[in-house]
Amino acid sequence: MTLPGAGALEGVGILDATLREGEQAPGVYFEPYVKAAIAGLLDEIGVEVIEAGHPFVDDEIAEAVNCLARRGFRARIAAHARARREDVEAALASGAGFLGIFLCVSPERLRERGLTPATALDQVTAAITLAKERRPGLIVRFTPEDAVRSPVADVAAVAAAAVAAGADIISIADTTGCMIPGGPRSLYDWLSRFRDELQRRNARPRLAVHCHNDRGLALANALDGLRAGASLVDVSVLGLGERAGIVDLAALLAVLVQDFSGNGRWRLEKVAELYRLVSRFSGVPIPVHFPVMGRNAFRHCAGVHSQAALRDPRHYQSLDPAPFGLSPEFSLDHMSGCSALLHALESIAVGDLDPELFTAVLRRVKAIGKKGRTVGRDELGWIVAWEKAQAQGRPVLLTQSA
Ligand SMILES: [Zn+2]
């Protein structure tokens, strides 16, 4: 896959939507002071835009957006709005420096709402004109919702009108997560055709992508979008959002930094703290096997893997955990072999064990693993003490050092 080169990547930014899209995950709501803490970490990490909420929906959300907008973050604070005067007014009142206006322009949805392509176009341009007249320095993004299931030419017509009215960014939304890289519904192909259509209409906005994860392809589609010329990607912590959510922030960061020369652009060492915070206050656990931030993401288990990865983690890791402040780990369970056990014993300062004792300890570790859990370092010390005492035929004092 070809993405923009290192130079072009400098123009690639991240819009984090944890506080807006993330709150659309069932049962997730962040108190305003939690929003402030999350936004603070996102700003430290270096995302370009923090989408903070839809002020028209609720006074408390409006207040939170307003507080974040006044914090002096480097990141722009974004407010969400339908293409309606009342929504735009509420977003302007929030003081956000970035306004995201959305309207679905698919023929079915327009018919359902009694709109035509022409009236939809009027609605979008009126909303953007109002915003730009009131606040000329405001960055305005127009999102044709469910764009990829709408005819390219129809979307381009509305998008070009939005650009003419002052929109700076057009965000292409795969609202239902239906796109498949390399397949008949490819975001790369769709966006390439869309860009051509816009250029025919003399519109050259910045392009963004908003990819849902219904097929588990959100990140792959977002990368396809970058390849087709988008330069802003919507993400959220843990991928939180409607249904299966959107692109996960940490996974995108890992790819951009380690595979596309984005090193030094983002403070990755703050990401783990952000994930703990969002997981705690969203009530959504971080899945253990989640890429990058999952407990097992850099944890080796099987004997063959551990043996090779202990010599050089790159034998079984293509991502480097160090920039995230993490390091490879070697778990002890029924799959463990001698190398992992030796490593674990060294880590708890247990010197050479005689072969019989070593075998007894390994046998017990494997037996515990078959019960469906791993053996922690403290437990390993107790096992060594126990087996040593058993071998010597003396009582075991579990408080004694191994
Ligand atoms: Zn969405």
- Between the CA of 385 and the centroid of ligand 1 the distance, in Å, is 54
pLDDT at 117: 85
- Between the CA of 67 and the centroid of ligand 1 the distance, in Å, is 24
- Kindly list the catalytic residues: 305
Residue 402 has pLDDT above 60, yes or no: no
- Between the CA of 214 and the centroid of ligand 1 the distance, in Å, is 11
- Total-model pTM: 0.92
Which residue intervals of the chain bear CATH 3.20.20.70? 6-282
37's enclosing H/E stretch is helix 32-45
What is the arithmetic mean of pLDDT over 20-27?
96
Residues with CB under 5 A from ligand 1 (ion): 21
Q: For residue 263, what pLDDT band results from cuts at 50, 70 and 90?
A: confident
Give the CA-trace dihedral at 157, 134, 54, 215, to 10 degrees: 30
pLDDT at 182: 94
Q: Per mean pLDDT, which range of 150-154, 163-167, 229-233 is the poorest?
A: 150-154
Residue 33 has pLDDT above 80, yes or no: yes
- Between the CA of 212 and the centroid of ligand 1 the distance, in Å, is 6
- CA 232/CA 146 separation, integer angstroms: 17
- CA 355/CA 339 separation, integer angstroms: 14
Full DSSP string of 164-220: HHT--EEEEEETT----TTSSS-HHHHHHHHHHHHHHTT---EEEEEEB-TTS-HHH
- CA 110/CA 174 separation, integer angstroms: 17
Strand, helix or coil for residue 133: helix
Provide the mean pLDDT of the chain.
93
- Between the CA of 304 and the centroid of ligand 1 the distance, in Å, is 42
Residue-wise pLDDT tens digits, 283-309: 999 999 999 999 999 999 888 898 888
Give the percent of the chain with pLDDT over 70.
96
- CA 155/CA 170 separation, integer angstroms: 10
Q: For residue 380, what pLDDT band results from cuts at 50, 70 and 90?
A: very high
What helix, strand, coil percent values describe the chain, rounded to 5? Answer: 50, 15, 40
CATH superfamily name and code, 6-282: Aldolase class I (3.20.20.70)
Give the percent of the chain with pLDDT over 90.
82
First-to-last C-alpha distance (Å) of the chain: 52
**AA letter at 151:** P
Q: For residue 9, what pLDDT band results from cuts at 50, 70 and 90?
A: low
Tokens of 71: 């914090």
- Between the CA of 324 and the centroid of ligand 1 the distance, in Å, is 27
Q: For residue 193, what pLDDT band results from cuts at 50, 70 and 90?
A: very high
- Between the CA of 240 and the centroid of ligand 1 the distance, in Å, is 10
- CA 360/CA 352 separation, integer angstroms: 14
What is the arithmetic mean of pLDDT over 60-79?
97
81's enclosing H/E stretch is strand 76-82
pLDDT at 354: 93
